[in-house]
Structure 1
Amino acid sequence: MKKSSSRGTLAGGLIAGLVIVTGLTGAGSLSARATGTPPPESTFFSTANAQESSTIQSSSDGDLWASCWADDGNLYAANGDGKGFSTSGPSSDIAVSRIAGTPGSLTGSTLATGNAISQTWTAGSYNRKPTGMVCVNGTIYLAVQDLSTSFNDAPAATVVKSTDHGVTWTWDHSAPMFNNHVFTTMFFADFGQNSANASDGYVYVYGLDNNWRTSFDGSVPNPTDLFLARVPSTSVQTRSTWQFYTGTSGGTPTWSTNIALKQPVLHDDRTIYPSLINAGTHNLTVLGQGGVLYDKPLNRYIYSSWTEYTYEFYESPSPTGPWSHFLTKDFGGYPWTQSKNGGYATTIPSKFLSSDGLSMYVQSNVCSCGGAGTSVYNYALRSLNLTVAPTAAATNSTGSTNVAQTPGTVPIERVAHFANNSYYNDGNLTNSEDDWNNEHKSGDSSWWGYTWPRQYTINKVVYTTGAMYPDGGWFSSNVRVQVRHGNTWTDVASPSTVPAYPYSSAAGTNASYTFTFTPVSGDGVRVIGVPGGSSTFTSVGEVSAYYSTGGFTVQGAIATKYNSSGGAAGPEGGITSNETTTADGIGRFNTFQNGAIYWTPNTGAQMVYGLIYSKWASLGYEQGVLGYPTTDETSDPLGRRSTFQNGYIIFNSSNGVATAYRSNGTVI
C-alpha cells in the first residue's frame, strides 16, 4: 500500500505527530546523533533482519515473559501485571505459565500468581517483576525484582525456585539476595533445554544496577554496564556462592565473591533520541532488561536489549566477551501500529532457535498504558534472521543484474516510518517510504540500502526518491554512496551523480539519481546523507545496485550536439550511459553527469541539464506532461529556460528554484 499524500497520517487515521505520554517533557536542544562510546561493531554477522512487528501473538495477558525451556519439553514463562494464560482470572503483578506448542500454535495455562511466587521487599510503591528464568537439572529458577510503580528504580531482587515445574515456589523469606540497587535486574544465560548446552557446572547470570532501563525521572543512574555472575548449579539460591566477573588476567576471566569488585562485561553509554519534534521520552540509554541466548550452532552468545524506540543486539564468542554490537532496529517515534511496533524486555527463547542457529524469535511487549498508540500485551513473537559474514570474494561479473534483487538481500534504513521496506527493491518506482521518526536528526543520520550474505562488486547505484512533503523528504547535504566491507562503511571513490542532486524539495517525487563510481566490493551498500526539512527526514521509492559495463559512447545527432557544446568539459559533463531508446519507441537519449540529450525525428537533439533537468525528471521525463525538449537551455529574464512540447521550465537564478509551466503559462 502506498503512503498517504499527507506525511503525518498512518493507515487507520493515527496522526504521526501525536504522542500521549503522561508526565514527560518535550525535546531538548541536544544533537540528534547518539552520544557516548559504543562497543565495536560485529564482524561476525553480515545480515540481521528483525520483523517490523510482533506477528505471532497468543491468548494471554501480561508483559515481560522471562522464560526457560524445561526438561519436560515445555516453555515456562513469568509475566508481570496481567493474568497470564488464564485470561478470565484475576490480574496479578506476577504470574507463571506453562506454554506448549510452536510459534503460530502456542497454548498455555497459568500455574501460580502473586504471593505464591515471591514477595515484595521494599516499603512504598513497589511491585514484583520477573526479570529472568532458567531451568537446570529439572529445577526452574526465577529472578524477581522490586520495581517502583513509576518503573524508574529497582532496589532489591531475589531468586525463587520450583521443583515441580512452576506450581509451587520457595525462597528465603528473611531478606532479598540483592539490595541497594546493585545487580537487581538479573537474567540468566539461556543454554537450551534444561541448560543442556552449558559447558560447565555453573549457572551464568547477567545483571544491571539501579534499574531495568533508563530511569526517566532520574531517580537512579541509568544502566550503562552489563555485569556477569556465575554460581554452581547446585546452590543458585545461596548468595555466598555467587562469583562476579572482575576482569581478566593473562586473557583468562577472573571472579570474586565480593560483589564490590565486579566489572562490566559490556559497557555502552550511548544515549539516543536526545531531541524530539513532539513531546516524548528522550535521552535514552541502550542497555536494559533483556536476555542472553547461547546460540550453540554458531557458538555465539546473543544479548537482546532495547530502548523506548529501538531494539539493540550484541554478540560475543564467550559469556564474558568481548561483546560487539550488530544491530539497532529503530522503530521510530510514536505512534506505532499493529504493523510497526518495537517493545521492551526483549528475549530470544532457545526453544524456537533453528537447527542452523540463524533463525529465531524475539519476544517483547508494548503496553497500552504508554504513548505508543497500540498494544502488544501478551506473549508475542517476531522473527529475527541472521547470516554469517562472507569469507569468499565477490564473483559477480559486469552486466545488467540489479544485485539489490538477489536472494538474501536485506533492506536497511535508519527507520521505516510505515514499515514498507519491501518497497526499496520491488521494481516499482512510484512507491514511497520515509524515515520520519519524531526526532531532530543531524549529521549523516539518514540512509537507504542493503546488506547481503555474500560480497558483490558494484559501480553504480540508482536512488529513486519517494514523496516530498513540506517538512521533509529530501537530503539537505552530503548525499553519497557508501559500501560496507568487514562491517566498515566507506565512501566510494571517484563518484559522480546524474542529475546533480539539488538538496531541496526540488529533488522531486519518484525522481531517479544515478551514482557511478570506481568498482568496489562489499557486502552492503547505502545512499547516506543529512536529512532535510523541518522534520529532518528523507524518502525513498527504490534503490538499485549494479556492476555495469563502462566505456559509454555517443553517436549520430546526439554526438554532434554533445561535442559542439564542449563534450565532457561542457554543461552536460561526462557520459554515463550508452544511447538508449525511449519508452515510447520514438526517441533516443544518452545520460551525462549533469543531465541528458534527447533526440526525436521531429525535435532533433536537445540538451537538458542541471535543476531544469531535475524538475523535468520529477514530472516523468518525456512521458510526463511536458513531453520532449524542443530547445536547448537558453537565457531568460529570470535566469535560464528550456522549452518542451507542452510547456517550459524556468530556473530562477535569484532563488535557485526551477518551476514548470504549461504552454498557456499556468504552473504545473
Structure 2
Amino acid sequence: MTPDVSVVDGVPVARDRSPLLLRVAHVDQAASVLTESDGDLWPAAWADDDALYTACGDGTGFARHDWRDIVVNRVTGTPREGLRGERLSAGDAVAPAWDPERFNRKPTGMVAVDGDGDGRDELYLAVQDLRCGAGPDTFNEAPTATVCRSDDRGLTWTWPAQPLFTDHVFTTVMFLDLGRSNGGSEWVYAYGIDGNWRTSFSHVVPDPTQLFLARVRADAIQDRAAWEFVAGTEPDGADGGLRPVWSSDVARRVPVLEDTRRFYPTPALGFSACDFTCIAQGGVVWNAGLGRYLYSTWSEYTFEFFEAPAPWGPWRLLHSHDFGHFPWHGPRSPLAKHGGYAPTMPSRFISDDGREMWLQSNWFVPASSRGGRAYCFGLRRVRFDPGTGQEPPRPTAPSENLARSADASVLVPRVREGGEHVLNDGRRDVAEDSAYGPGSGEDVWGIEWPSPRWFDRVVYVPGPQDSLGGWFASSPRVEVRRDGVWHEVAATVTPPYPTDWTALEEDEYVFDLDAQCADAVRIAGEPGGGMRYTSIRELEVWFRGAS
C-alpha cells in the first residue's frame, strides 16, 4: 500500500501520524558489502547524475595513499551489483580548519541540490572542527562548523569567510536526505547537535541528548542569516497535527527529539568510557516506501533507530540493536560481529517498497581486526517490514517448525559471536549466548514473521555448561506480539526450569500454551550467573493442534 503523503513546507509529510509498527526489524551483525577505501563517517548525498557523493574523515578515501583529515569521494553502483569509488579532493582544497592547532576537520553532512537553477546539482558539505591532539579532550569537543560548496561535483570547493556556527551551538550538522537531488525541494533541512558529535568521554562539554532542526532555502545555504530553526510547534488545522514554528534566532531553538537514556553504565574491561547517550552523528532519511523519516544513530555499542511522519516529529524509538561491548570481530571473520559509529542509510540504496535499506557505519577500535577492517565505506542490510496479511484461519493439522520458515527472523538481546542464526538453523550442536552485555535488564530470545502464525508450543534448547552464566535467574516467561504489543501468555514448562546453573543440565525445555495467533513469540527473563547472560542452541515454534 502506498503511504498517504502530503507536501508541507517543501517536504513530504505522512498523513497517518500514528507510530510505525514493524513485524520484522532486522539489522545485520556486521558489514557485508566492503569497498577498497579508507576512512570514517561518510555522510553522503544522491546527486542528479545518479552517483552518491560522500566525504570521509581521517583516511585516504578511495585511494591507496595520501592520508588527510577530510576527503571527498564519488561512489557508483549498488550493494548487490558492486560498488566503485574514486577520490575527488581532500584536505585544504575541501574546507578550512578554523583553529588548526587544536582542531581538525570532520565531515558531518552532505546534500546535493540545484539551488542556482542551472540544471545541475551543487554539493554542500557540512564540516565541523573537532578537537584533536593527544589530550583527554580529543574527539570530545566540536565548537565550530561551516558549510562548503562545490559547483563541479566535488572537485573544487568554496566556503564563507567565517564559520556558520560557533560556540558549540548546532555544530554537528546533518542534512536531511530527501532522495535524489534533495527530492526536488526548494528547501534544504538540516539536523544539528550541540557541543560534540557523540558522548563526550572527558565531559569537556555536556553529552548530547537533544536533536535540533533547521531549514534554509536551497539558494542561500551558505548565508547564515537565511537559516531558520524550529522554535516550537503550533496546531495544524488542516489535519489535526502540529507544524513547526520557525525562528531565525538560534537561541530560540527547541529540540525535535530528546533522549536522555544512558547505555552501558559501567566500562568494559580495558576500555574506560561508559554511560553513553544516543543522540549522535548519524543520518536522517526520508523513506518513501514506508512513508516515514528514519533517524539512525548510535551509543558506542548499540544502533538506535527513530521514526517520524514529518521532519519535525513526533519522533519515536523504532528499534534498538545491541552488539555488546568489545571484543568485536571484523567483517570477514567467520563469526563477524561489530557495530560502529555515525550510521547512515543513504536514500540511493533504499528499495522501492522501503523495507530494505543498507546501513553505512565504521569501526576503528581496533581499526584492523580479526577478519578484516571495518574502517572503510561498508554497508550492512537492514530490514524494516510492517508486514502484510491478516490473521489466518486456524490450521487443521500440525505444522512444521515455524521458526525455520523462510520468512522467519530472529529476536536476540545481543550475541557474543554474532551467530544469531543459531536460534533457527535446525542444529543443536552449536550455541550462542548474550555475554558482553550491559549487566542490567532482561534477555529475550524470539522469532518474528511478517504475518501472523498459529502456534501452541515453544521449545527452548539452552547452551552448554558454564560457571559464569548462561541460564535465566528468573523462570523464563513466554510472550507473544499482536499489533505491536507484547503480551505474556500462560505456559506449562517441561521439565520445570530451575533458575540456576543446573538449568544447563537439561537438553530442552518445552513450553506448552493455549493456541496463539501472533506475528512474534519470545522467551524473556533475567539473565543469571556472575556475568549475567543466557545461552541458546535452538528456539523452535510449533503448532500441534492439541488445544
So what's the TM-score if we normalise by structure 1? 0.73
The whole-number CA distance in structure 2 between the counterparts of 1:370 and 1:510 is 41
Q: What is the aligned counterpart of 1:209 among 178, 190, 194?
A: 194
Structure 1 residues 477, 235: closer, same or farther in 2, change over 3 A? Answer: same
DSSP-derived class of the 1:417 partner = coil
The one-letter code sitting in structure 2 at the alignment partner of 1:407 is: A
**Aligned Cα RMSD in Å?**
2.0
Distance in 1 (CA, whole Å) between partners of 2:407 and 2:366 is 38
Q: What whole-Å deviation, never above 9, does each CA across 1:396-439 have from its counterpart, x for those lacking one?
A: 42523322122321101110111111111122123211010153
Aligned partner letter, 1:74:
A
- Written as runs of structure 1 = structure 2, the 5 A alignment for 1:226-375 is 226-250=211-235, 251-276=242-267, 278-280=269-271, 281-338=273-330, 339-368=336-365, 375=373
Would the aligned equivalents of 2:395 and 2:545 in 1 still touch at CA under 8 Å? no
Equivalent of 2:377, from 376, 379, 383? 379
Q: What is the CA distance between 1:358 and its match in structure 2?
A: 1.2
Does structure 1 conserve the Cα–Cα contact (< 8 Å) formed by 2:470 and 2:504?
no
1:303/1:314 contact within 8 Å kept:
yes
Equivalent residue letter for 2:425 = D
Query: What SS is found at the alignment partner of 1:475?
Result: coil
CA positional deviation for 1:389:
4.4
| 1:117 has 2:94 as partner | yes
1:164 aligns with 2:152: yes
Give, in whole Å, the separation in 1 of the partners of 2:300 and 2:291. Answer: 30
Give the corresponding residue for 1:418: 417
Q: Aligned partners of 2:457 and 2:74: how far apart in 1?
A: 53
Contact 1:136 1:233 survives alignment (8 Å): yes
1:102 aligns with 2:102: no
Q: What is the rounded CA distance, in whole Å, between the counterparts of 1:389 and 1:113 in structure 2?
A: 44
Distance 1:500 1:510, change over 3 A: closer
Contact 1:313/1:325 (8 A) holds in 2: yes
SS of equivalent to 1:408: coil
> Aligned equivalents of 1:279 and 1:532: distance in 2?
23
The residue matched to 1:286 in structure 2 has which SS? coil
Residue 66 of structure 1: aligned partner: 43
Between the aligned partners of 1:390 and 1:101, the Cα distance in structure 2 is 30
Are 1:148 and 2:123 counterparts? no
Tell me how far 1:243 sits from its aligned partner: 1.0
SS of the residue corresponding to residue 404 of structure 1 reads helix
**Structure 1 residue 296 displacement after superposition:** 1.4
Identical amino acids, percent of aligned pairs: 40
TM-fit CA distance, 1:372: 7.5
CA deviation profile, 1:569-595 (whole Å, cap 9, x unmatched): xxxxxxxxxxxxxxxxxxxxxxxxxxx
> How much has 1:546 moved relative to structure 2?
2.4
Distance 1:177 1:450, change over 3 A: same
Contact 2:20 2:307 in 1 (8 A): no
1:52 aligns with 2:39: no
Partner of 2:395: 397
- Counterpart in 2 of 1:490? 487
> How far apart in 2 are the matches of 1:228 and 1:420?
38
Aligned equivalents of 1:414, 1:369: Cα separation in 2: 24
For the Cα contact (< 8 Å) 1:412–1:451, is it kept in 2? yes
Amino acid at match of 2:97: T
Of 168, 173, 179 in structure 2, the residue corresponding to residue 186 of structure 1 is 173
- Alignment gaps of 5+ in structure 1: 1-39, 552-668
Q: What is the CA-CA distance between 1:96 and the residue it aligns to?
A: 0.4
Query: Which secondary structure does the structure 2 equivalent of 1:527 belong to?
Result: strand
Name the SS for the 1:477 alignment partner.
Answer: coil
What's the secondary structure of 2:289's corresponding residue? helix
Letter in 1 for 2:457: K
Correspondence 1:427-438 to 2 at 5 A: 427-438=426-437
User: Structure 1 residues 530 and 349 mapped into 2: Cα distance closer, same or farther (>3 Å)?
Assistant: same
Letter in 2 for 1:139: E
Structure with larger Rg: 1
Shift of residue 97, structure 1, vs aligned partner: 1.0
Q: CA deviation at 1:45?
A: 2.0
8 A contact 1:429–1:510 mirrored in 2: no
8 Å contact kept, 1:117–1:170: yes
CA distance in 1, matches of 2:511, 2:355: 34
Amino acid corresponding to residue 154 of structure 1 in structure 2? A
Tell me, in whole angstroms, the C-alpha distance in 2 between the residues paired with 1:431 and 1:253: 53
Distance 1:286 1:307 in 2: 4
Greater shift in the superposed pair: 371-380 or 469-478: 371-380
Preserved CA contact (<8 Å) 2:26 2:384: yes
> C-alpha separation between the residues in 2 aligned to 1:314 and 1:510?
40
Name the structure 2 match of 1:472: 469
SS at match of 1:297: coil
Match of 1:5?
none
Is the CA contact (8 Å cut-off) linking 1:277 and 1:440 kept in structure 2? no
Distance 1:121 1:439 in 2: 39
503-512 or 342-351: bigger deviation: 503-512
Measure how far apart 1:42 and its partner are: 4.8
1:378 Cα offset (Å)? 1.0
Alpha-carbon distance between aligned partners in 2 of 1:335 and 1:510, rounded to the nearest angstrom = 30
Tell me if 1:519 matches 2:515. yes
Deviation sequence 1:96-136 (CA, Å, 0-9, x none): 01112222522222111111111122364211000000100
Q: Which has the higher contact order (CA 8 A, sep 6+)?
A: 2
Native 8 Å contact 1:160 1:169 kept in 2: yes
Residue 191 (structure 1) shift: 1.4
Partners of 1:408 and 1:490 lie apart in 2 by: 22
In 2, Cα distance between the equivalents of 1:510 and 1:157? Answer: 59
Aligned length in residues: 505
Range with greater deviation from structure 2 (75-84 or 272-281): 272-281
User: What displacement does 1:457 show?
Assistant: 3.1
SS at match of 1:294: strand
Aligned AA (1:46) = R
Q: What secondary structure is seen at the aligned counterpart in 1 of 2:42?
A: strand
Distance in 1 (CA, whole Å) between partners of 2:53 and 2:511 is 53
CA shift at 1:481, angstroms? 0.8
Match of 2:438 in 1: 439
* Inter-partner Cα distance in structure 2 for 1:472 and 1:245: 49
Q: Compared with structure 1, are the counterparts of its residues 328 and 518 closer, same or farther at alpha carbon in structure 2 (3 Å cutoff)?
A: same
State the one-letter code of the partner of 1:62. Answer: G
Once the two structures are superposed, residues 496-543 of structure 1 have per-residue CA deviations (whole angstroms, 9 ceiling, x without a partner) of 211100111211256211112233332211111010111110000111
Contact 1:185 1:289 in 2 (8 A): yes
Measured in 2, the distance between the counterparts of 1:372 and 1:350 equals 29
In 2 relative to 1, CA 323–234 (structure 1 residues): closer, same or farther, beyond 3 Å?
Answer: same
d(CA) in 2 for partners of 1:368 and 1:342?
11
Q: Distance in 2 between matches of 1:476 and 1:229?
A: 48
Whole-angstrom distance in 2 between the partners of 1:317 and 1:279: 42
TM-superposed deviation, 1:83: 0.8
| CA distance in 1: counterparts of 2:369 and 2:475, whole angstroms | 33
Question: How far did residue 278 of structure 1 move?
Answer: 2.3
Q: Does the CA-based 8 Å contact 1:395-1:456 persist in structure 2?
A: no
Q: Which amino acid aligns with 1:262?
A: R
Distance of 1:343 and 1:499 partners within structure 2: 41
Q: Secondary structure at the match of 2:422?
A: helix
Confirm or deny: 8 A CA contact 1:366 1:372 kept in the other structure.
no
Contact 2:69 2:105 survives alignment (8 Å): yes
Q: What does residue 59 of structure 2 align with?
A: 82
Q: TM-score, normalised by structure 2?
A: 0.89
**8 Å contact from structure 1 (residues 431, 510) kept in 2:** no
Question: Amino acid of the residue matched to residue 227 of structure 2?
Answer: W
